[in-house]
Amino acid sequence: MKRFDGKVVLITGGGGAIGSAAARRFHAEGARVCVVDMDFGRAEEVAGQFGDAGLAIAADVAVEDDSEHAVSECLAHFNRLDVVFNNAGISGTATPVQNMEVEEWDRVLQINLRGVFMILRASLRAMIDRAIPGSIVNMGSSMAGWDVLSGGAHYAASKHAIVGLTKTAALDAAPWGIRINAICPGVIETTLGVPASDRDSYLKGVARFAKRIPLRRIGTPDDVAATVCFLASEDARHVTGADWLIDGGQTLQSWANAPAADAYPSSIDGPR
Ligand SMILES: NC(=O)c1ccc[n+]([C@@H]2O[C@H](COP(=O)([O-])OP(=O)(O)OC[C@H]3O[C@@H](n4cnc5c(N)ncnc54)[C@H](O)[C@@H]3O)[C@@H](O)[C@H]2O)c1
């Protein structure tokens, strides 16, 4: 018996590095998987690996009609919805907050927060209507949901908000037996979007950063997928409202025991 036999899982940003790893893991554990992405080609590529157990859905989660449609298409095709991995997100352009354009702020918040809220709401309504005691996992961040990143005010605001949204929604949904948790990954090695010409410098940066992590390595999409599947499964049946770190101990570092500051210089230059 696999953990997700008979279950239907919807994953937003399912065509990306972390989303596709989660889709493969859920499928390997018995699930039928709806792969939602605004890049339909990527969604099709991932869902196509699962035969009849996969469905690609084109949707921009920041658009209300698209979010509603993603959930209703999943229900129309598989006739149920047990698990949602609310994962689609962008990091935005790194800019000091004093120089940040309102348009860039809005762009990040609309996808990372508004999009997560709308998928969450549509999924909860579907689960409540069908009396399915489902599980929802929202994507936060350790570097920006627990910690902060210079130049990433929009990203950090969106990911901190995910933790508040998750805890509140977990309370609201608990009477229906629906569990809602957030995951907060640290740096995850995702070479998928890195052009071949930048790959070497990306991997050097990853190796340098690994030295600052207590467990001495960068996380992988499979590390994240394993935790998402745990939280979504019956094994985590008494876990709700958690903001689950997956960061190799990265956030345990304080100023007193952190490695030399120049190991990871700030992206922002200033007079001091
Ligand atoms: N990679 C990391 O180090 C890291 C760490 C912590 C958290 N995260 C979070 O993990 C999530 C996935 O990141 P990733 O590294 O796999 O990135 P990725 O770029 O590989 O994947 C993101 C996917 O989301 C899709 N997407 C973007 N905007 C969308 C929208 N509006 N509607 C629908 N789909 C959309 C993209 O097309 C892409 O396929 C993000 O929320 C990110 O903030 C990543």
pLDDT over 90 (residue 258): no
Residue ID of nearest Cα to ligand 1 atom 37: 39
Which atom of ligand 1 lies at the shortest distance from residue 115's CA? Answer: 31
In the chain, which residue ranges form alpha helices assigned H by DSSP? 17-28, 40-47, 64-78, 102-109, 115-129, 142-145, 153-173, 199-210, 221-232
- Number of neighbours of residue 153 by Cβ within 10 angstroms: 21
Question: Ligand 1 pocket, 35 CB below 6 A?
Answer: no
Which amino acid is present at 238? Answer: H
Over residues 24-51, the mean pLDDT reads: 98
> Could you give the CA distance from residue 232 to residue 83 in angstroms, rounded to a whole number?
6
pTM value is: 0.95
Architecture of domain 8-193+220-247: 3-Layer(aba) Sandwich (3.40)
Q: Which residues does the annotation mark as catalytic?
A: 155
> Could you give the CA distance from residue 229 to residue 221 in angstroms, rounded to a whole number?
12
Over residues 150-173, the mean pLDDT reads: 97
Which atom of ligand 1 lies at the shortest distance from residue 66's CA? Answer: 32
Band (198; pLDDT cuts 50, 70, 90): confident
> Could you give the CA distance from residue 57 to residue 118 in angstroms, rounded to a whole number?
16
Over residues 158-173, the mean pLDDT reads: 98
Question: Ligand 1 pocket, 17 CB below 6 A?
Answer: yes
Q: What is the pLDDT of residues 179-193, one digit of tens each?
A: 999 999 999 998 766
pLDDT, averaged across the chain: 93
User: What distance lies between CA 66 and its chain's CA centroid?
Assistant: 18
Instruction: Give the residue extent of every domain in the chain.
Output: 8-193+220-247
Which amino acid is present at 194? Answer: V
